């Protein structure tokens, strides 16, 4: 009986016949998690909550290239898990924001820090430039015939000036712990043309209005909005392009997730080619 017990213990430890022991070991202990680890956990029937906790508490080295993401999708790994895998590239311990980009920083298919990025091509070379968020202040004015609430940005021009009337952007959305991008999508980041006030050297955008008998309406004026095409190239990553050429002027992607621009950041750029 003692010998049979030892044999049974070894059988359980090393794996029953047909068990892929090397694959099983990939999700045990303090090892580094890979795409195959996640796929195996999925195949073993673990739910998203378990897999997400394992990713959160483990050292990870995921392949989140388009090929890697395609493999995960074919294995029926959920978008929530895939997004968590992508997020490890910018939330790994000891990494600052500037080291969050892995691979070629000018390749839009490589992981990037959450945010809005301008994509440009010139002479066969690619270039990715982060669109930094600008803080604004709110200003409200009212009279007998109504009034408006405006977001006010300092300076007559954004720091980022682009050389195309139809620029291409990529938006990288991380998890809720990654600032205002959170778990948003391009619908929460409308593109708007800003009004310029040269006298005070400011850029303005009406984000709410009040009219007699109509009450207060929040939201960006329709005439200020510019339509865009947003293509979901992989989980959490969108290619965003204006549907029509943009006239010279100043523009911003505006966080409207709460309907009232509550977060206080705009992702601004300008076009002045004439």
Give per-residue pLDDT as tens, 21-32.
333 333 344 578
Does 149 reside within a domain? yes
Same domain, 228 and 167: yes
Phi/psi at 7 (nearest 5 deg)?
A: -60, -45
Same domain, 149 and 214: yes
Does 107 reside within a domain? no
Question: String of b and e for 62-98 (b: at least 16 CB within 10 Å)?
Answer: bebbeebbeebeeeebbeebbbbbbbbbbbeeeeeee
Same domain, 66 and 167: no
Does 190 reside within a domain? yes
pLDDT of residue 15: 42
Does 50 reside within a domain? yes
Which domain-ending residue is among 97, 126, 157?
97
E strand map for 106-201: 115-122, 125-131, 133-135, 137-143, 146-154, 161-162, 168-172, 191-193, 195-197
C-alpha–C-alpha distance, residues 128 and 211, integer Å: 43
Q: For the beta carbon of residue 168, count every other beta carbon within 10 angstroms.
A: 16
Same domain, 46 and 176: no
Instruction: Report residue 224's pLDDT band, with 50, 70 and 90 as the boundaries.
Output: very high
C-alpha–C-alpha distance, residues 180 and 223, integer Å: 25
Same domain, 152 and 221: yes
C-alpha–C-alpha distance, residues 257 and 72, integer Å: 29
Which range of residues forms the domain containing residue 9? 2-97
By mean pLDDT, which of 1-15, 33-47, 89-103, 170-184 is the weakest? 1-15
Same domain, 92 and 119: no
Q: Which of 86-95, 98-107, 211-220, 252-261 has the highest average model confidence (pLDDT)?
A: 211-220
Same domain, 239 and 129: yes
Does 70 reside within a domain? yes
Share of the chain above pLDDT 70, in %: 72
pLDDT of residue 213: 62
Same domain, 147 and 248: yes
Does 135 reside within a domain? yes
Q: 3-class SS at 41?
A: helix
Same domain, 15 and 93: yes
Same domain, 75 and 147: no
The whole-chain average pLDDT of the chain stands at 78
Model confidence at 193: pLDDT above 60: yes
Same domain, 88 and 124: no
Same domain, 12 and 91: yes
Does 66 reside within a domain? yes
Domain count, the chain: 2
Does 102 reside within a domain? no
């Amino acid at each position: 009986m003692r010998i049979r017990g030892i044999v049974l213990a070894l059988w359980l430890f090393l794996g029953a016949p047909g068990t892929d022991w090397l694959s099983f070991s990939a999700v045990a202990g303090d090892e580094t998690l890979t795409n195959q680890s996640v796929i195996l956990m999925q195949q073993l029937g673990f739910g998203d909550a378990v897999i997400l906790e394992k990713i959160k508490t483990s050292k990870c080295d995921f392949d989140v290239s388009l090929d890697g993401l395609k493999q995960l999708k074919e294995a029926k790994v959920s978008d929530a898990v895939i997004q968590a895998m992508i997020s490890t590239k910018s939330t790994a311990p000891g990494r600052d924001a500037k080291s969050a980009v892995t691979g070629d920083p000018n390749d839009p298919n490589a992981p990037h820090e959450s945010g809005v990025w301008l994509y440009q091509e010139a002479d066969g070379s690619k270039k990715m430039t982060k669109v930094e968020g600008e803080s604004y202040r709110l200003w409200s004015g009212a009279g007998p015939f109504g009034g408006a609430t405006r977001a006010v940005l300092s300076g007559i021009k954004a720091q980022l000036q682009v050389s195309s009337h139809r620029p291409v952007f990529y938006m990288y959305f991380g998890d809720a712990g990654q600032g205002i991008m959170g778990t948003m999508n391009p619908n929460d980041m409308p593109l708007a043309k800003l009004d310029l006030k040269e006298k005070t050297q400011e850029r303005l955008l009406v984000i709410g209005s009040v009219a007699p008998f109509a009450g207060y309406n929040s939201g960006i004026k329709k005439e200020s909005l510019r339509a865009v095409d947003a293509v979901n190239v992989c989980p959490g990553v969108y290619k965003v392009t204006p549907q029509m050429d943009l006239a010279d002027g100043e523009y911003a992607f505006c966080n409207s997730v709460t309907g009232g621009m509550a977060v206080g950041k705009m992702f601004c750029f300008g076009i002045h080619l004439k």
